[in-house]
Structure 1
Amino acid sequence: MPAPQEGDGEETAAPPDPEEAPKAAPELRGEATGEPAATPAAPPSPEDKAVNSRLGRMYRRMVEPFLDSPGRRLGLAATVTGLLLAALLLAATGRVPLKMLPFDNKNEFQIVLDLPEGSTLESTDRAVRDFEAFLRGVPEVTTFVSYVGTASPMDFNALVRQYYLRGDSNQADIRVNLLPKDRRDMQSHAIVLRLRNALEALAARHGARMRLVETPPGPPVVATVAAEVYGAPDMPYEMLMESALGLHGLFRDEPGITDVFDSTQTPRERINFFLDKEKAALHGVAAEDVNASIALAMSGATPATVHEPGERRPLVTRLVLPREKRSSLTALERIPVKTDAGKIAPLAELGQFRPVSEDQPILHKNMRRVAYVFGETAGRAPAEAVFGLQNRLEADPPRKGIEVDFAGEGEWKITVDVFRDLGIAFGAALLGIYILLIIETKSFSLPLLLMTAIPLTLLGIMPGFWLLNVLFGETVGGYGDPVFFTATSMIGMIALGGIVIRNSLVLINFVDESMRQGMALREAVLQSGAIRLRPIALTALTTMLGAWPITLDPIFSGLAWALIFGLLASTAFSLLLIPVAYYAVRSKTSAA
Structure 2
Amino acid sequence: MRCARSSSSIRARAARLGISQAQIAEALSLAVSGSDAGYLHDGASVYPLPIRLRLSAADQSDLSSLLALRLRAADGSLIALSEFVQVQSQPWEQPRLHKDLAPVVYVTADEAGPRDSPLYGMFGVISRLGDAPVAGSAVAQHFIAAPADTAQFALKWDGEWQITYETFRDMGLAYSAGLVLIYLLVVAQFRSYVVPLIIMAPIPLTAIGVLPGHALLGAPFTATSMIGMIALAGIIVRNSILLVDFINQALDQGHALADAVVDACTVRAQPIVLTALAAMGGAFFILDDPIFNGLAISLIFGILVATGLTLVVIPLLYYARLQGRATTSAVV
Same structural fold, with TM-score higher than 0.5 when normalized by the shorter chain: yes
1:570 corresponds to which residue? 306
Shift of 1:451: 0.7
1:367 maps to which of 101, 126, 138: 101
**How far apart, in 1, do the equivalents of 2:9 and 2:176 lie?**
69
Inter-CA distance 451–358: structure 2 relative to 1 (3 Å threshold): same
1:505 maps to which of 241, 250, 256: 241
CA contact (8 A) 2:198 2:314 kept: yes
Deviations 1:91-145 (A, max 9, x none): xxxxxxxxxxxxxxxxxxxxxxxxxxx7xxxxxxxxxxxxxxxxxxxxxxxxxxx
**How far apart, in 1, do the equivalents of 2:246 and 2:10 lie?**
93
Correspondences of 1:69-80 after superposition (within 5 Å)? none
**Alignment coverage as a number of residue pairs:** 256
**How far apart, in 2, do the equivalents of 1:295 and 1:528 lie?**
100
2:8 corresponds to which residue? 293
**How far apart, in 1, do the equivalents of 2:104 and 2:253 lie?**
74
Shift of 1:522: 2.3
**How far apart, in 2, do the equivalents of 1:585 and 1:415 lie?**
41
**How far apart, in 1, do the equivalents of 2:22 and 2:297 lie?**
72
1:496 maps to which of 224, 232, 239: 232
SS at match of 2:269: helix
CA contact (8 A) 1:465 1:485 kept: yes
Deviations 1:359-414 (A, max 9, x none): 4222222222111111112222222222222111123243352111112xx22211
**How far apart, in 2, do the equivalents of 1:487 and 1:462 lie?**
13
**How far apart, in 2, do the equivalents of 1:426 and 1:565 lie?**
19
Deviations 1:425-481 (A, max 9, x none): 111111111111011111111111111121111111100110112xxxxxxxxxxxx
SS at match of 2:201: helix
**How far apart, in 1, do the equivalents of 2:246 and 2:229 lie?**
27
**How far apart, in 2, do the equivalents of 1:554 and 1:303 lie?**
56
SS at match of 1:555: coil
Q: Is 1:424 matched up with 2:173?
A: yes
Q: Is 1:404 matched up with 2:155?
A: yes
Inter-CA distance 583–360: structure 2 relative to 1 (3 Å threshold): same
**How far apart, in 1, do the equivalents of 2:106 and 2:129 lie?**
16
CA contact (8 A) 2:3 2:87 kept: no
Calculate the TM-score normalised by the size of structure 1: 0.39
Shift of 1:421: 1.1
**How far apart, in 1, do the equivalents of 2:176 and 2:252 lie?**
35
Correspondences of 1:75-154 after superposition (within 5 Å)? none
Inter-CA distance 530–367: structure 2 relative to 1 (3 Å threshold): same
2:187 maps to which of 430, 438, 444: 438
Q: Is 1:302 matched up with 2:20?
A: yes
Shift of 1:322: 3.8
2:252 corresponds to which residue? 516
2:82 maps to which of 323, 327, 330: 323
Q: Which amino acid aligns with 1:373?
A: V
CA contact (8 A) 1:492 1:559 kept: yes
CA contact (8 A) 2:167 2:223 kept: yes
**How far apart, in 2, do the equivalents of 1:318 and 1:392 lie?**
65
SS at match of 2:103: strand
Inter-CA distance 391–304: structure 2 relative to 1 (3 Å threshold): closer
Shift of 1:293: 2.5
Q: Which amino acid aligns with 2:161?
A: W
CA RMSD of aligned residues (A): 3.3
CA contact (8 A) 2:198 2:317 kept: yes
CA contact (8 A) 1:507 1:529 kept: yes
**How far apart, in 2, do the equivalents of 1:461 and 1:511 lie?**
29
**How far apart, in 1, do the equivalents of 2:96 and 2:204 lie?**
50
Calculate the TM-score normalised by the size of structure 2: 0.68
**How far apart, in 2, do the equivalents of 1:394 and 1:572 lie?**
47
Q: Is 1:448 matched up with 2:184?
A: no
Shift of 1:325: 7.2
1:547 corresponds to which residue? 283
Shift of 1:504: 0.4
**How far apart, in 1, do the equivalents of 2:22 and 2:278 lie?**
82
Structure of higher CA gyration radius: 1
Shift of 1:557: 2.0
Q: Which runs of 5+ in 1 are unaligned?
A: 1-117, 119-269, 273-289, 306-315, 330-354, 470-482
| Structure of higher RCO (CA pairs closer than 8 Å, 6+ residues apart) | 1
**How far apart, in 2, do the equivalents of 1:323 and 1:383 lie?**
53
Shift of 1:328: 6.6
Inter-CA distance 417–318: structure 2 relative to 1 (3 Å threshold): farther
Q: Which amino acid aligns with 2:240?
A: S
Inter-CA distance 466–295: structure 2 relative to 1 (3 Å threshold): farther
Q: Which amino acid aligns with 2:226?
A: M
Shift of 1:490: 1.3
Q: Which amino acid aligns with 1:405?
A: K
1:391 maps to which of 117, 127, 133: 127
More strand by share: 1
Deviations 1:533-570 (A, max 9, x none): 22211211121112211213222222112111110010
**How far apart, in 2, do the equivalents of 1:366 and 1:318 lie?**
53
Inter-CA distance 358–304: structure 2 relative to 1 (3 Å threshold): closer
Correspondences of 1:27-66 after superposition (within 5 Å)? none
CA contact (8 A) 1:304 1:317 kept: no
Q: Which amino acid aligns with 1:585?
A: R
SS at match of 2:245: helix
**How far apart, in 2, do the equivalents of 1:382 and 1:295 lie?**
55
SS at match of 1:395: coil
**How far apart, in 1, do the equivalents of 2:238 and 2:258 lie?**
22
CA contact (8 A) 2:210 2:297 kept: yes
**How far apart, in 2, do the equivalents of 1:422 and 1:573 lie?**
25
More helix by share: 2
**How far apart, in 2, do the equivalents of 1:368 and 1:291 lie?**
39
CA contact (8 A) 1:459 1:569 kept: yes
